[in-house]
Structure 1
Amino acid sequence: MMDPRLLYELDPELWEQMRGKRPVLIHLLEGYVDAGQTGRALSRHLRASSEHRTLVRFDHDALHDYRSRRPVITFDTNTWKSATSFALEISVGTDAAGQEYLLLHGPEPDTQWERAVAALNHLVHELDVRMVVTASGAPVAVPHTRPTLVTGHSTDTTLITDNPRMIDRVDVPASFSSYWELALGTHDRLALGFAALVPHYLAQATFHQAVVAVLERINQFTGLSLPLGDLPEQVVTNLADINSEMNGSQEVLEVVATLEQQYDAMQARPEEYLPSAEELGAEFERFLADREKDEE
C-alpha cells in the first residue's frame, strides 16, 4: 500500500491549535444509501450553523470515479461556462456552546478504501479524537405521521440498548462510513452511528424529521450542543407539504393508514413485528433501484 499520509494535506497552524482538545469527529459522506437525504441535509445544516475552517483536504482526484459520479458542466450559447467540483475534507466547526468539533464531508471514496481508512485512522490517532460519529437514513416501511425511529450502532455495543425492533441481522452492500466504523472497532476506537428509519415512499426526498432525530441523538451521545436552528420549522413545513400531496391520493392514504396500524402494533408488542432479513433486503434493493432511476 502506498503511504496513506500522501492522500491528504493539512493546515499546520490549525492542526496545532486542535492538538490536545480530543475533539469529536462527525463524518457525513455522500455515499451509497441515505434515505430522506438525512446525512446530506445534516451536513449542510452544520456547515451553515457556524464558520467551518478546513483542517484536512484529501486528494479527491485519487479517490473519485468520475465515470460513476460525473461533475455537472454548463454550456452557454457557444462556450463551457462552469463545472461543479468535488471536495473531500475535514473542517473544524463550533457548537452553540463554543466547543470545537471536526466534520468530515464530501463524496465517499470510490477507490482505495483500505488506504483511505488507514489515512483517517492515522488522523484520528494523531488528534486523539475521542469519538467518531455518523448519521444517515434507511428506507423502511414506516409512516411519516409517527415519530421517527432511530437505529444505533457502535463499536461499544453496551452504549446501544434501545434500538427499535425493526432490524435484527441483515447483509447489505457496505458504505464507506460503515466500513470505516468496522475498522475503528478493530483499533479499539469508539465509533457510533445513527440511522433514521425513513418512510420508504419518502426515501428520495428530504425528510427533515429524520434530520432532527439523528441530530438530537448525536448531541445526546457526544455532549455537543449542535444547534437545531430552523430545522423544527422546516419539519412543520415539510410534513404539511407531504400531507397536502398525500391527501390527493386515496391509494396513498390507505397505504399510510396501514403503516400507522403496523407501527402502533409494533410499539405495543415489538417482539411480534421483527421483519426478516429477506424483507429488509428487498426494501433496500427497491431503494437502490429507485435511486438509480433518478440518476439516469
Structure 2
Amino acid sequence: MSSELVIVHREFDLADPVLVVALDGWVDAGIGMRNATEIMVKADDAALVASFDADLLVDHRARRPTMTVREGRVDDISWPAIRLQQVSDLDQRPFLVLHGPEPDFRWQAFCIAVDELVQRLGVSRVVALGAYPAAVPHTRPMRLSATGTSQDLIERFGSPAGTLEVPAGISAALAKRFEAAGLETVSVWAQVPHYASGSPFPAATAALFQGLRAVADLRFDPAPLIAEGLEVSRRLDTMIAQNSSHKRLLGQLESAYDTSMGEQGEEIPTGDELAEELERFLRDQDESK
C-alpha cells in the first residue's frame, strides 16, 4: 500500500467479495447500524485484513479512548480503531466489513486508501448501512430507502424524492470515489420512528439485514432481533396508550403510512412535531421511575 494511513495485515484470495461499510459517527437512529456491525464482526472466523492509523484520522478529544480502572489502578486503555475485517454470513459466505469511527480528518486521503484496498481485494459491490429518524409509526413494518451511485440497486428500495442538499457522511464520499472506478455502490437506510430514534431499536437492525440480503445475498438470523423488537414495541404501546394526544399523533402516522405517507390522506404532523410530543412524554416516564 502506498498510503501511510493503512496497514495491511494479511492477504486473502476472495472471489468478488462484497464490502459492507459501517463507519459510526453520522446518522444511526436507534443504533441500527452499530448493532448490525457488532453482530457481523463477532463471528468466530472474523479475521483482520487491514487497520487504519487512528492517530492521523481521529480527534481523540472528541472521541476519547476508554480507560478501565480496577481498584484505583489504570488497567487498560481502549483506543478508537478503524478496521477492515473478513467475516462470514450464516451460509459461510465470506465478505468484508469496514467499521469503526468515521474519520474526523483527511477524508479524501482516507477514501483513496480504502479505494486502493478495494481494488487490491477485488471487491465487486459496496453496501453502506445507516438508519435515520423518520415520520413513521412503530406499529407498522420497517421501511428501507436507498441512496448511492447504482440506480438499479437504489430502485429496489426507493429513494428520497426530488433534490436534497444535506451534510454528507464518509460513506457518500467513498461512494463517489468508488463510482469513478466503476464499482456498484448503494447505501441502505432503515427508517426509524422519530420518537424512538434515541434508544436501541432492534427492528432497524433486522431491516438492515433484510436489505443486505436483497442487494448482496448475505444472510443473518433475524429471529433474536425480531423478538427484541416486539418487546420494544410493546413498551412503546404501553407508554403511548396512557396519553390521548400521543395516541392521536400515532394514529395520524399510521394513516399516513397506510396511504403512502399522506399523499391521499389527512394532514399529518411533521417528524419534529411528533418527536417533540412523544420524546417529552417518554422523558417524563423515565423521570417518574
Shift of 1:154: 2.9
Instruction: Tell me by how many angstroms 1:7 deviates.
Output: 1.1
Q: Give the match for residue 228 of structure 1.
A: 222
Q: Does 1:8 align with 2:2?
A: no
**What per-residue deviation string (whole Å, max 9, x for no partner) do you get for residues 3-40 of structure 1?**
8522111223xx1xx22421111011111211111111
Find the counterpart in structure 2 of residue 188 from structure 1. 182
TM-score (norm 2): 0.85
Tell me the residue number matched to 1:207: 201
State the TM-score, normalizing by the size of structure 1.
0.83
Partner AA of 1:139 in structure 2: P
Match of 2:35 among 36, 41, 45: 41
Deviations 1:179-202 (A, max 9, x none): 111221122111111111111111
The offset of 1:67, in angstroms, is 2.1
Moved more, 158-167 or 246-255: 158-167
Distance 1:245 1:166 in 2: 31
1:102-135 C-alpha deviation (Å, 9 max, x unpaired): 1111101110101100000000001110011111
The one of 146, 149, 152 equivalent to 1:152 is 146
Equivalent of 2:244, from 250, 260, 281? 250
Over 3 Å counting, the alpha-carbon distance change for 1:244 and 1:228 in structure 2 is same
Specify every segment of 5 or more residues in structure 1 that has no aligned partner in the other structure, as ranges.
287-296
Whether 2:98 is the aligned partner of 1:104: answer yes
- Which letter maps to 1:153? T
Deviations 1:43-64 (A, max 9, x none): 0121235431111111111100
| Bigger fraction of residues in helix | 1
Retained in 1: the 8 A contact 2:112–2:177?
no
| Number of corresponding residues | 274
Change in CA separation of 1:50 and 1:260 when aligned onto 2, cut-off 3 Å: farther
Instruction: Report the CA distance shift for 1:247/1:71 in structure 2 as closer, same or farther (over 3 A).
Output: farther
Q: Could you tell me whether the CA contact under 8 Å between 1:95 and 1:227 is conserved in 2?
A: no
- State whether residues 134 and 192 of structure 1, in contact with CA within 8 Å, keep that contact through their aligned partners in structure 2: yes
Q: Secondary structure at the match of 1:96?
A: coil
User: How many Å separate the matches in 2 of 1:64 and 1:33?
Assistant: 18
**8 Å contact from structure 2 (residues 63, 80) kept in 1:** no
CA contact (8 A) 1:25 1:131 kept: yes
Q: Tell me the distance in 2 between the aligned counterparts of 1:186 and 1:114.
A: 14
Name the CA distance, whole Å, in 2 between partners of 1:176 and 1:106. Answer: 12
Aligned-partner SS, 1:27: strand
Q: Residue 84 and residue 168 in structure 1: after superposition, are their counterparts in 2 closer, same or farther (change >3 A)?
A: farther
1:198 aligned residue: 192
The aligned counterpart of 1:175 is 169
User: Shift of the alpha carbon at 1:74?
Assistant: 5.0
Over residues 52-108 of structure 1, what are the superposed CA-to-partner deviations in whole Å (9 max), with x where a residue is unaligned? 111111111110011222224355675444433211101111111111111111101
**Identical-pair percentage:** 25
Residue identity in the other structure for 2:42: A
